[in-house]
A and B are shown apart, each in its own frame.
Chain A
């Protein structure tokens, strides 16, 4: 197990380097960011040259990349155009997005798995059809529609929540945004769990467990659910990274100043340092989540072993 983890961690290095290089090149292709810094007026040549020098934009791209990576390994992610350290931006943005992601994942797991189990056990009954229809609706309606609708109804019409999240973004205020963010994945988790449960219900080991005279809840939680959760765990694991990077729409609607907001600003202002820095961290999160998912397999199914 230990060796397996180490091997996986080493494998991350080339992925990490490749991903950052790609992002770096892509942002650079967009052109000269200094041109946009002076608004609808041209920066005077001398200041522009000076700024380019300060941000290292006067060097060839490969050299910029090497310098950048060198700095990253010492924990220096560079400076955004507004004079803030990118690490400072990260330290304010990531906690917010992580909280939002946690809320979303918890909602996915709690509601999604529960609904999945209920519908899986009662396949073909009205409850099943109802939830299936509901998930279909949720999947087909875009997130920003759900978000704006909930914001308008709960925030403005009924006044139950604040339409925008305050800058400290505590868990309580993130419940609705988290629900919006989780909605599509929630539907998938429900459907995955449902199919998996319905399939395993007829398997030999479940029949054996029932024949042994085990109580129903024990059969469901210890035998049926544990085996059925493997595909769900895979999905949720990869979803963590996806939710963190893809929170941009939800964050914009509810005015949450998280990773999505910073990435959006970074791209608008063509701020290589911000974009590459944030994406780098997101890539890491994604890779780590995948590792954790693989490790969780062993927990759920002891037959799976890693050498």
Chain B
């Protein structure tokens, strides 16, 4: 009898457990009509324009927002979108006129104030926006975002609303490319709803772009629909996009093969071998504004002595870029011959072959250079990378193999993996590394300036190796002050030559963006940021 009583008790508990857990699921959103589904990864930060610094969050922002400028998906050129005019006489004081007739999808008019408020919000220290430094050129930034201590102003003195459609910007220094940076997501306007009901806005962002957010289940799915009243010239050619979060891009690819997904914008490295036979011409592999380099700890005495330049040049010559990009990356990387990216185009500052012989593989020359430079510091280089994401281990091992072969020394180069990206970053940004380390750079906007200044200017935000060169700094300053774009580019290239002559960092390869799609889709393209141009995709 006793046993039976216990049995009912257990059965009751089981039934209760089943009942409480069974009701957790929601309905599956029916993907009907001309909505396409696309792979996505959970954004790392809250979806605020000035707080989003990675591709996945940026993807959404570029669908639901339009800023003053928009980068042409083909050429990467900054073209006017909401801006009617951006005028300056001295490259320092700008008068910006906003086009009439634009609204946010909740009906609010886009005015000059929408921009000024959004920029002030983004720059303000108390809002913790990770892209705040984008506003650092604007006068008064140091007051709202001081390096130390409390902020002493709420708004930047360099921003003034003149009337409904006009505002002025005063920069703290000359910066002729400033208008071209305005296509970046951090500079988009924000509606009142953003400030009035911040939590509500984050749960369901409202913007002024071709799409509106229909539903957003954090961590799993975002449903975007075409905004029919969108006033811009680049309205969506499909009814909407469902972004599905995948934990693994292999699963996304499998889903594409099984017909459950329309678009994958990151073909996994393991599938590169069969992607051509799987998808045929429904596969795209185009250059993106991403370059991989090996940075050096210039703060370390061992890497910053008279012969060090030769050692770095020798290492560069010991890397067989052609072979590594072919065998490891199946041609989805292009050997680098300068420090920028082909997406800039020759006019934009890309100069093929600027690196010259220093980027060409030559084992004998490499050996000679390293010997002349006093040999490898400590007899061995350790290339530090993070082992958690990307296929960094693969190529670091290949680079080391190449160096070992060229130098005819099995112990010349080894990989030095670090567990997580965060740990890797905290070590590289606090100058705790004693050998070369991987440095990837994805451009914020298609400008030469963006490939050089943040990485090599003295104490710049991403100059983790602490390289410093007076001549380079001077040339960059001159280039920024130059009003004629062609002459600015020329200055930047001179600065880039300084980087080359000192081999501040070894350029490895340019990264391509890749995408694969189902038979339902046509007109798929990737923009220079390797994000699909969603509004141009046709379904059916």
Report which A residues bind B (CB closer than 8 A). Answer: 30-47, 50-51, 54, 81-84, 88-89, 92, 95-96, 98-99, 102, 151-152, 155-156, 159, 162-164, 166-171, 251-255, 257, 261-262, 264-265, 267-270, 296, 298-299, 302
CB neighbours (8 Å) of A267 from chain B are: 420
Docked-complex contact A40 and B128, CB < 8 angstroms: no
A40 touches B46 (CB 8 A): no
The reply to whether A168 and B28 contact each other, CB–CB distance below 8 Å, is: yes
The contact of A99 among B21, B251, B442, by CB within 8 Å, is: B21
- In the complex, the answer to whether A47 meets B132 with C-beta atoms within 8 Å is yes
Residue of A with least CB distance to B254: A163
A96 CB contacts on chain B under 8 angstroms: 24-25
Which of B66-74, B217-225, B408-416, B476-484 binds A? B217-225
A46 / chain B contacts, CB cutoff of 8 Å? 125, 145-148
CB distance from B537 to the nearest CB of A (A): 21
Q: How large is the interface on B (under 10, 10 to 19, 20 to 34, 35 or more residues)?
A: 35 or more
Q: Could you jot down 11 A-B contacts, CB within 8 Å?
A: A31-B422, A33-B426, A40-B425, A46-B147, A51-B128, A84-B218, A164-B254, A171-B22, A255-B251, A257-B245, A257-B247
- In the complex the two chains form, is B219's CB within 8 Å of A89's CB? yes
Please determine whether A35 and B422 come into contact, CB atoms closer than 8 angstroms.
yes
One of B246, B424, B442 near A255 (C-beta < 8 A) = B246
> Are B44 and A82 closer than 8 Å at their CB atoms?
yes
Q: Which residue of A lies closest to B464 (CB)?
A: A42
Give the Cβ gap from A125 to chain B, nearest Cβ, in Å.
Answer: 32
Starting from the known contacts A45-B147, A46-B148, 12 additional A-B residue pairs (CB-CB under 8 Å) come to A36-B420, A44-B145, A92-B219, A155-B254, A159-B259, A164-B260, A167-B220, A167-B244, A168-B28, A253-B248, A265-B42, A267-B420
Say whether A44 contacts B461, CB under 8 Å: yes
A219 and B46 alpha carbons, distance in the complex (Å):
62
Q: Find chain B residues with CB under 8 A from A162 CB.
A: 255, 258, 260
Chain B contacts with A in 459-474, Cβ cutoff 8 A: 461-462, 464
- In the complex, the answer to whether B22 meets A99 with C-beta atoms within 8 Å is yes
Known pairs A164-B246, A168-B27; A83 contacts B202 (CB<8 A): yes
Q: Give the distance in Å from the alpha carbon of A50 to the alpha carbon of B441 in the complex.
A: 25
Q: B251 and A164: CB pair below 8 A?
A: yes
Closest-by-CB residue of A relative to B27 is A168
Cβ-defined contact, A163 with B260, below 8 A: yes
The answer, yes or no, to whether B2 is at the interface (CB within 8 Å) is: yes
Knowing A164-B260, A167-B217, A265-B42 touch, does A41 contact B462 (C-beta < 8 A)?
A: yes
How many angstroms from the CA of A94 to the CA of B67 in the assembled complex?
40
Question: B-side interface residues toward A, CB under 8 Å?
Answer: 2-3, 6-7, 10, 17-18, 21-22, 24-28, 42-46, 53-54, 125-126, 128-130, 132-133, 145-148, 202, 217-221, 244-248, 251-252, 254-255, 257-260, 388-389, 419-427, 429-430, 439-442, 454, 461-462, 464
Interface pair A42/B22, CB less than 8 Å apart? no
Q: How distant is B224 from chain A, measured CB to nearest CB, in Å?
A: 15
Within the complex, what minimum Cβ distance (angstroms) separates A112 from chain B?
Answer: 17
CA distance A169 to B103 in the complex (A): 38
Contact B53 A39 (CB under 8 A): yes
Interface centre among A30, A88, A296 (most CB of B within 10 A): A30
Query: B45–A81 contact, CB under 8 A?
Result: yes
Other-chain residue from B244, B246, B251, B454 in contact with A41 (beta carbon distance below 8 A)? B454
Question: In the complex, are the beta carbons of A50 and B125 less than 8 A apart?
Answer: yes
* Residue pair B28, A166 in contact (C-beta under 8 Å): yes
CA distance A88 to B28 in the complex (A): 20
Contact of B125 among A47, A95, A270 (CB under 8 A): A47
A82 to B245, CA, bound (A): 15
A38 to B130, CA, bound (A): 6
Give the complex CA separation of A98 and B23 in angstroms: 12
Whether A257 touches B251, Cβ cut-off 8 Å, given contacts A99-B24, A168-B28, A299-B6, is no
Complex-state Cα separation, A146 to B126, whole angstroms: 50
Q: Using Cβ atoms and an 8 Å threshold, which residues of chain B touch A262?
A: 219
Given contacts A41-B462, A265-B42, contact A296 B254 (CB under 8 A): no
Partner of B45, one of A37, A54, A168: A37
Hey, which chain B residues are within 8 Å of A30, CB to CB? 419-420, 422-423
Q: In the complex the two chains form, what is the Cα distance from A102 to B20 in whole Å?
A: 12
Are A257 and B219 in contact (CB-based, < 8 A)? yes
Contacts of A265 in B (CB 8 A): 42
The residue among B27, B125, B248, B257 with the most chain A CB atoms within 10 A of its own CB is B248
**Beta-carbon nearest neighbor of B218 in chain A:** A84
Question: In the complex the two chains form, what is the Cα distance from A195 to B423 in whole Å?
Answer: 48
5 interchain residue pairs of minimum CB distance: A36-B422, A95-B24, A35-B426, A167-B220, A83-B46
A268 CA to B125 CA, complexed, in Å: 27
Nearest-CB residue, chain B, relative to A166? B28
**Which residue of chain A is the closest to B132 with respect to CB atoms?**
A47
Set of chain B residues within 8 Å of A253, measured between Cβ atoms: 248, 251
Residues of A within 8 A of B3 (CB): 299, 302
Q: Which residue of B lies closest to A157 (CB)?
A: B258
**A36 CB contacts on chain B under 8 angstroms:** 420-426
Taking CB as reference atom, which chain A residue is nearest B202? A83
